[in-house]
Structure 1
Amino acid sequence: MTATLPRATVLADGVVRLEPLSENHVPDLFEAGGGDDEVWRWLRPTPHTKEDLTTLARRLVDGPEYTPFAVVHDGRAIGWTSYVNVPGYALSVEIGFTWYGRAYWRTAVNTACKILLIDHAFDAHDYNRVVLKTDHLNTRSQQAIARLGAVHEGTLRRHRVRPDGTWRDSVYFGILREEWPAHRARLVGGRR
């Protein structure tokens, strides 16, 4: 049985506030990472204008396979993240299409976002598993996912074509409901 994709709601802690993504976030988002090829390297073609970024945001908001959130830090949107539907995987949800402005890499932002989203997936919904995946060449993302406690489950070779026409292999990770409490305790303990 495939789980129903959660609706966007406000999730917050002392580091970030996740709120339903809207076009109102675009000016802050563009300032945080629009036009930065390195920020967008693993996602889609870089949005070089606010209009480009608005188009991408609309696709997420309007797409039935996503539940997108703006990542707000110190009152400004600095990136976005999303629940993603994973058809064919019983009671599973993916966290993906995540980006943050470069100034927020290797800060508490990613861990805070993932704790909020994983908690919400397991506590407010009947999910059994949270999936995270990334490009096999994106070692920075793989390391961040592994730090969460996610288990490497395999690599789907030639999973999709990148914007530049080359093939992407997708590295899959997962966290099961019963594994999460110990990982969460470690992550929260490490943020003090």
Structure 2
Amino acid sequence: MGIETDWAADAAAVLENDRVRLAPVTEADRKPVRAVAMDPDIWRYFVTAVTDETDFKEFFDTGLADQAAGRRVVFAITDKESGRIAGSMSYGNMAEADRRLEIGWSWLGRDFRGRGVNRWAKYLLLEHAFERLGAERVEFKTDVLNTQARRGLANIGAVEEGTLRSFNFMPGGRRRDAVFYSVLRDEWPQVKRELAARPKVTPKAPER
């Protein structure tokens, strides 16, 4: 059965290395998250749209509520180079009996893309899932149209499994085809080595 753990409690940990820090989101994060979230480009392929203050309040409140109910662990990602919150990722669909969970609900502000933040955040989440929680499978899904996210998942070593057609509604009414990816427990050691061995990305100056 692997490592004995209580996923509801143990998934909500603070995870960090010398580049990023991930901590379960709190009310205190509302303002710094909003500072990077009000960019329409972030939400182009997201299952919710944040276009104004009302949308952001609903989005942030839903994250807090999901976390309080144990449906998700919503992490605020801090970029240690700048000291700013860079975005968010979550653990969700946690099926502890089957040792399976999803990493998703992922987004980064404009200033933090292409700087290694995505790579190191997912590295820490994968490491915690396999080495602390005892997961056997970590899965990801994204919009078939989201080529940037698909490249990112391939770059962290996730295996593309297939497309579920007409998977869900998107803002505006489009039906999304969802592409699924995964990393399995026996694949994690190699994925970990490859991620850790890559040259560090030199942080570029934030765009003004």
Report if TM-score (shorter chain) is over 0.5: yes
Pick from 25, 45, 60 the counterpart of residue 49 of structure 2.
Answer: 45
* Counterpart mapping for 1:13-32 below 5 A: 13-32=17-36
Query: Secondary structure of 2:55's match?
Result: helix
1:26–1:53 contact (8 Å) kept in structure 2: no
Q: TM-score, normalised by structure 1?
A: 0.91
| Structure 2 equivalent of residue 159 of structure 1 | 167
Deviating beyond 3 angstroms after TM superposition, the runs of 4 or more aligned structure 1 residues are 3-7, 86-89
* Counterpart mapping for 1:69-80 below 5 A: 69-73=75-79, 74-80=82-88
1:136–1:171 contact (8 Å) kept in structure 2: yes
Distance 2:119 2:43 in 1: 20
Shift in Å, 1:88: 9.8
**How many correspondences in the alignment?**
189
- Post-superposition CA distance 1:104-150 (Å, at most 9, x none): 11221000000000000001112101101100000100000011111
- Distance 1:159-1:134 versus aligned 2 partners, 3 A rule: same
Distance 1:40 1:89 in 2: 33
| Structure 1 equivalent of residue 73 of structure 2 | 67
Q: Which amino acid aligns with 1:97?
A: W
Query: Secondary structure of 1:96's match?
Result: strand
| CA RMSD across the alignment | 1.9
1:21–1:57 contact (8 Å) kept in structure 2: no
**Structure 1 residues not aligned, in runs of 5+:** none
Query: Secondary structure of 2:133's match?
Result: coil
Shift in Å, 1:90: 2.2
- Distance 1:106-1:151 versus aligned 2 partners, 3 A rule: same
| Structure 1 equivalent of residue 183 of structure 2 | 175
Are positions 1:148 and 2:156 aligned together? yes
- Distance 1:67-1:88 versus aligned 2 partners, 3 A rule: closer
- Post-superposition CA distance 1:67-121 (Å, at most 9, x none): 1000011322121110011559921110000111011112210000000000000
**Structure 2 residues not aligned, in runs of 5+:** 201-208
Q: TM-score, normalised by structure 2?
A: 0.84
1:23–1:54 contact (8 Å) kept in structure 2: no
- Distance 1:133-1:100 versus aligned 2 partners, 3 A rule: same
Query: Secondary structure of 1:179's match?
Result: helix
| Structure 1 equivalent of residue 99 of structure 2 | 91
Q: Which amino acid aligns with 1:117?
A: L
